A and B are shown apart, each in its own frame.
Chain A
Amino acid sequence: MFLIKKNEVLKLAQELEKSYAVYGPVVEKESGQAFLTKVDSVNDIDLNAPIPALPPKSVVFPQIEKILGYKYDRNSKNVDIKMVVVPQAKAIFGLRSCDLAGIQCLDRFFLGQEFVDDVYLLHRKQMFIVTNTCTKPFAQCFCACTDSGPSAKEGYDLNLTDIGDSYLIEVGSDKGKELCEKMGLQKSEAAHAAEKVKVVDKSLDSFEKEAVENKAWISRVMNRITTGFIKPQVWEFIGDQCFECGACSFVCPSCSCFNIEDFNKPDTAVDRMREWDSCSFEGYTRMAGDHNPRKPIEDRRNKRFFCKLSYSQSKKYLRPGCVGCGRCAWVCPGDIGLPNVVTYVRREITEREINE
């Protein structure tokens, strides 16, 4: 473990900038909103910025991206297929631990199943990740209930924790260690590590009461969702509130669904693009010739929560799909962000128990 003075912490980012495209939390001036995005200058990075609105999946899995280019001339029958270019290696500086868990879900899903998603891999390989411990949770957070924060446990190259006048740097990989050594950073003492424990405990104590209470409930709710033992009326109540906007999927750090379309350009070249998609849409499952196995909206909502909170899906992510970032709650025009759905299911379980 190493130490770095608080006012020097961005030197790490400066060092990374030499070999990586650096992404970090930056506040957009006009709207006052924090984004995790490619930085124009590392000095723009604000480690104290609130949890970025945009989930960091956009770094490895952009909202819309070209995955293939081709040209086909029907007259000469000439086909010219081009793979996408390899982007510059990326470094994320100042990632929150829930968001790291989100990236880990994506890793396991895109790289760990039967096939490796080669486009995702292009973004992900050689990536350098510096996480940042949340010393106090934001209003919507409940990572404490989903076991994904407030401090990252694994999966980072370096993990920063604000312990007063300096940051403690934990090392998670050889790459990380090399960087610290190259910069000649000071080694930390046992007392510093102890200080970190205190900081994390204090952070845990300051979660909203509700968020903490929900912890035990989340596993009960997962149980119910996995077994399908939830009244249809509850899904209907939830489904009626869905405006079918897709936002919950777009902002979720672990949602990976995409659509693929071939965009014809004026000069006969075609870009095959993939773009974030959402299981809330009717067209997501509709098949040619009238058949839609998942037509009513409540079927589609039920799918989402099965995806985020069921043991079967967790097997793919090696953790629950929900990492507790709370983003879906603030973008939902209905009132059915994940925490609320947990509450609704919880209400039903309680009612059932009373009645039985």
Chain B
Amino acid sequence: MSEYKVITVPEVAVIKEIKKEIEDTSTFYLEFENPEVAKNFKIKSGQFIMCTIFGAGEFAVSLPPSPENDRFHISVRAAGKVTKVLHSLQPGDKVGIRGPFGNGFPFDEIKGKNVIYVAGGIGIIPLRSSIVHVLQHRNEFGRVIVLYGARTPQDLMYNYNIDEWRKIEGVEIYTTIDSPAPGWKYEVGFVNTLVEKAKVPVDNSVAFVCGPPIMFNSVIKDLVNRGMREENIISTLERHMKCGIGKCQHCAIGRTLVCTDGPVYTYKQIKTLGEQI
């Protein structure tokens, strides 16, 4: 109890640039006002921050930038009261940041393995950090596969990144949309069908899965059917969050709190939590 960090007070950051991703989701590039804070702001892939929109409230948001050499940004869908106000802000406006919080994805443990990312819709946001990080260290891993699906071509996030990733050698990128669309030259069908198509390896592999509950459940089923072990399937969970620091308990799932024990869980853990996803 002697040493503790004040974690209820946000640090101020400026919105530098806003990039529209898809219909209701934009990426906000941020910069801390205080350089000291910026210097000490170290993140792990899979972690999240609590973002204050002054006058509206606070919400939880994943960190898509890689821990190394990447611009600080968040990608947010206008989903409700607070996030809608964020979308009305302009570059130059300020927001408050607390964090980073949460356990984050394993990085060192997965070195040398095949890494598979399966994302649906805006589920790619929390995975982006890890994807970029792994690509920055491409030779330290086995096969690197990204399977990404969305409803229509207009619902695909980070198009500009994906196009770049396609150019990197030794990275297998599959994108798919729910039903055929004019001009679309990649796959058609739900994401889980890609698991088969990409001949996803299951030995010495880890899979990161993130997306809406229906997609999540069917992908897991297919991976497990192929022989992927439950402890090698990794996901991040989303729960109603208020504090981000394990105190408000809104994010409780089973005996754990998503903000401090998660948001990253293995499928094996998820199964023992005894609650709906």
Touch test A–B (CB under 8 Å): yes
> A: which residues have CB within 8 A of B?
67-68, 70, 72, 74, 77, 79, 81, 83, 109-111, 113-121, 228, 256-262, 264, 268, 270, 272, 274, 277, 279, 284-289, 291, 293-294, 299, 303, 306-307, 310, 312-313
Shortest B215–chain A CB gap in Å is: 13
Q: Check if B242 is an interface residue, CB within 8 A of chain A.
A: yes
- Tell me, yes or no, whether B80 is within 8 Å of chain A by CB: yes
Contact A293 B275, beta carbon cutoff 8 Å: yes
In the bound complex, do residue B9 and residue A81 qualify as a contact, i.e. CB atoms below 8 Å apart? yes
Q: A77-B94, A277-B250, A279-B249 are in contact. Are A116 and B255 (CB under 8 A)?
A: no
Is B92 close to A, CB under 8 A?
yes
13 residue pairs from A and B, CB less than 8 Å apart: A72-B55, A77-B93, A79-B94, A81-B96, A114-B246, A115-B5, A257-B250, A268-B55, A285-B240, A287-B240, A289-B77, A293-B239, A293-B276
Pair A260/B240 contact, Cβ less than 8 Å:
no
Contact with A along B244-261 (1 / 0, CB 8 A): 011111101111000010
> In the assembled complex, which residues on chain A have CB atoms less than 8 Å from the CB atom of B260?
113-115
| Assembled-state Cα–Cα distance A329/B8 (Å) | 34
**7 tightest A-B contacts by CB?**
A72-B54, A288-B79, A312-B255, A288-B80, A116-B4, A115-B245, A293-B276
Chain B 66-100 interface mask (CB, 8 Å, partner A; 1/0): 00000000000101100100000000111010000
Nearest residue (CB) in B for A109 is B247
Q: Is B112 an interface residue (CB 8 A)?
A: no
Chain B: CB-nearest residue to A293: B276
Residue of A nearest to B11 (CB): A81
A264 to B82, CA, bound (A): 13
Within 8 A of A (CB), among B162-182: none
Closest residue on chain A to residue B81 by CB atoms:
A288
Residues of chain B within 8 A of A83, CB atoms compared? 6, 9
Q: Are A121 and B4 touching (Cβ within 8 A)?
A: yes
* Min CB gap B243→A, angstroms: 7
Q: In the assembly, what is the distance between CA of A94 and CA of B4, in Å?
A: 31
Q: A72-B55, A289-B79, A303-B252 are in contact. List 10 more A-B contacts (CB 8 A).
A: A118-B4, A260-B57, A261-B57, A277-B248, A277-B250, A285-B250, A287-B238, A287-B239, A288-B80, A289-B77
Distance between Cα atoms of A80 and B252 in the complex (Å): 33
- Checking A116, A261, A293 against B253 with a beta-carbon cut-off of 8 angstroms, the contacting residue is A293
State in angstroms the CA–CA spacing of A117 and B8 once bound together: 8
Report chain B residues within 8 Å CB of A284: 240, 250
Distance in Å: Cβ of A285 to nearest Cβ of chain B = 5
In the complex the two chains form, is A264's CB within 8 Å of B55's CB? yes
Interface centre among A121, A272, A288 (most CB of B within 10 A): A288
Asked if B56 is at the interface (CB within 8 A of a chain A CB), the reply is yes
Complex contact A260–B242 (CB within 8 A):
yes
CB distance from B96 to the nearest CB of A (A): 7
- The residue on A at minimum CB distance from B249 is A257
CB < 8 Å: which of A72, A261, A264 contacts B94?
Answer: A72
Asked whether any CB of chain A lies closer than 8 Å to the CB of B37, the reply is no
Please tell me if the beta carbons of A270 and B253 are within 8 angstroms of each other in the complex.
no
Contacts A284-B240, A287-B238, A291-B213; A117 near B245 (Cβ below 8 A): yes
Cβ of B142 within 8 Å of any chain A Cβ, yes or no, is no
B252 close to A270 (CB less than 8 A): no
Q: Which of A83, A256, A285, A299 has most chain B Cβ within 10 Å? A: A285
Contact of A110 among B58, B80, B247 (CB under 8 A): B247
Of A67, A256, A274, which is within 8 A of B249 by CB? Answer: A256
Q: Which residues of A contact B56 (CB under 8 A)?
A: 262
Q: How far is the CA of A102 from the CA of B110 in the complex (A)?
A: 43
Q: With the chains together, A74 CA to B77 CA distance in Å?
A: 22
CB neighbours of B247 from chain A (8 A): 109-110, 113, 115, 117, 120, 256, 258
Q: Are B7 and A118 in contact (CB under 8 A)?
A: yes
Which residues on the A side are within 8 Å of B35 (C-beta)? none
A114-B261 Cα distance, complex, nearest whole Å: 10
> Within 8 Å CB of A272, what residues of B?
58
Tell whether, in the assembled complex, residue A68 and residue B9 are in contact, meaning their CB atoms are under 8 Å apart.
Answer: yes
Does any Cβ of A come within 8 Å of B189's Cβ?
no
CA distance A257 to B257 in the complex (A): 12
Q: What residues of A have a CB within 8 angstroms of the CB of B213 in the complex?
A: 291
Knowing A81-B96, A260-B248 are in contact, say whether A310-B255 is a contact too (CB < 8 A): yes
Query: Across the interface, which residues of B come within 8 angstroms of A268, CB to CB?
Result: 55
With contacts A81-B10, A258-B248 taken as known, whether A313 is within 8 angstroms of B255 at the C-beta atoms is yes
